[in-house]
Structure 1
Amino acid sequence: MTFVIASPCVDVKDKACVDECPIDCIYEGERMLYIHPDECVDCGACEPVCPVEAIFFEDDTPQDWQQFTAVNAEFFSDLGSPGGSAKLGPIGRDHPTVAVLPHQGTIA
C-alpha cells in the first residue's frame, strides 16, 4: 500500500507535502505532484499538510478518484525508481489522464 495524490492537486501543486516527506518520494509533474509507490514508506507525513486534501492512503481514496492510484504509479513507468525527487527536479510532463483535464486555476 502507498499514499496517492488525486485530482485536487491538479493545477495547485502547493508542495507542502514535498517539504514534509522524509524520503523525497513526491515528484513534480507539469500540473500536479505524484507519489512514487515503490519509494513511499507509508509514513503519512504528507497527508495532513496538503491544503487541498488531495493525498489519501491508497485504500481510502474516494471512489471518484480511484484512477489516481494507477495514475501515480504509471507516471513512473519510464522513470523507474530514481531514488528521490530532488535528484530530478520538475519533470516536464504529466500522466496522460492529468494532461487532458481542464485547467483548474493557476499553477503554483
Structure 2
Amino acid sequence: MTYVITQPCVDIKDGACVDVCPVDCIEGEAEDRQLFIDPARCVDCDLCATVCPVDAIYREEELPPEWEHFTDVNAAYFTGGKDEAS
C-alpha cells in the first residue's frame, strides 16, 4: 500500500510532508496545483499524514470514495502523465 495526496492539497501545497519524508517520495513542481506521492518509493511510514495541516494525505485503502481517483493522479505524475486533479 501507499499514501495518496488528495483534493485538500490542491492549490495549498503546504510542503510540511516533503520536509518529513525519509525517502523523498513527495514531489511537485511550482506550476503543479498539488504535491504527489510516488507509490513506488513510498514506505508507508505515516509521517506525511501526521504533519499535513489540511488532512490531504490518506492510506490508499482508507481514501474517501470521492477521492479514490487521486491514486491514479499521484501515480500518473511519476509515469509521465502529470495528470492533475481538479
Q: TM-score, normalised by structure 1?
A: 0.73
User: Structure 1 regions of 5+ residues with no counterpart?
Assistant: 80-93, 102-108
Letter in 1 for 2:38: H
Letter in 1 for 2:36: Y
Task: Quote the offset at 1:42 in angstroms.
Answer: 0.6
Runs of 4+ in structure 1 over 2 Å off? none
User: Structure 2 regions of 5+ residues with no counterpart?
Assistant: none
Correspondence 1:58 to 2:60 = yes
CA-based RMSD of the aligned residues comes to 1.4
Task: Quote the offset at 1:21 in angstroms.
Answer: 0.5
CA distance in 2: counterparts of 1:78 and 1:62, whole angstroms: 25
Matched with 1:16 is 16
Aligned pairs, how many?
84
Deviations 1:38-68 (A, max 9, x none): 0001111100100000000000010110000
Matched with 1:83 is none
Q: TM-score, normalised by structure 2?
A: 0.91
Letter in 1 for 2:15: K
